[in-house]
Amino acid sequence: MHSEESVKVREEQSFVEILISRVENLNALNPDVLQSLLLVFEKFERNSQKKVILIKGDGEKAFVAGADIKSMYDLGQRAIADYAELGQRVMRRIECYSMPVIACVNGYALGGGMELALACDLIIASKRSKFGQPEINLGIIPGFGGTQRLLQRIGIGTTRKIVYLGTIIEAEEAYKLGVIDMIVENDKFQEEIEIFARNLSQKAPIALMECKRVLRESTEPNLLMGLRYEVEGFIRAFATDDRKEGMRAFLEKRNAEFKGS
């Protein structure tokens, strides 16, 4: 296991495992993690032999509990725009990586964490995992592509329900809704994701890469337009007093009182 700060990389013969490791903050995505993810994906994209990539969160509790609320709280308008752009660039980099990327979720995948999973080709989760876009409870909207990729995955009705209410849903429910692709027993998690990765990496690589490219490019125009709308909406919501109250309430471990300003 080779460490690049809070993103660790383990390279096997047939796949690469990326571990996001900020356990004390439930692996929340700060700029450091986002930059490291970008570098890791760029590095593997340059390899002549492209490998399937697995993304995991460190520890027993979370895949990723979202964008890092602590590091976002004090950001001004320019800085939050840069932050959202960086997050979106990382998700696109993953989405455009030549070979399939599998989100391996064992615990919470919330906000930017669910968005990270949605940017991957497939989502495998342990039974105890939980999913959600709880940004509304902070006075903001998803900013790393969640509205658009969820819309593409499960349709507008259920996307509205998840994004408007910010409810956290169990893995079984997420599977029934089509948010995730496979559920595995908690104690078989590592074994099952490795079996899946090895199976995938035995397929004809050029055909596999073409499958990924064709499926992505055929839905790309709407996605790219929607991602622009999302960033704009995210920045507008971030400028409100409700956003400050929502994030302060989270940090003070209380419910937010929104005023509509």
Q: Residues in the site for ligand CAA, rule: CB under 6 A?
A: 25-26, 28, 65-70, 87, 108, 110-112, 115, 134-135, 138, 142-144, 146
Cβ at position 130, least distance to ligand CAA in Å: 8
Strand 122-126 and strand 182-184: the pairing is parallel
Our CB check for ligand CAA shows the closer of 57 and 143 to be 143
Distance CA 70, CA 50 (A): 36
Our CB check for ligand CAA shows the closer of 68 and 95 to be 68
Q: Which residues are catalytic?
A: 115, 135
Q: Which residues contact 196 (CB under 8 A, 6 or more apart)?
A: 102, 124, 182
DSSP string over 22-84? -GGGTT-B-HHHHHHHHHHHHHHHHSSS--EEEEEESTTTEEE--B-HHHHTT--HHHHHHHH
Cβ at position 137, least distance to ligand CAA in Å: 6
Our CB check for ligand CAA shows the closer of 147 and 201 to be 147
* Cβ neighbours around 11 below 10 Å, total: 15
Our CB check for ligand CAA shows the closer of 16 and 62 to be 62
Phi-psi region at 95: left, alpha or beta (left = phi > 0; alpha = psi -120 to 50)? alpha
Cβ at position 215, least distance to ligand CAA in Å: 24
Cβ at position 62, least distance to ligand CAA in Å: 6
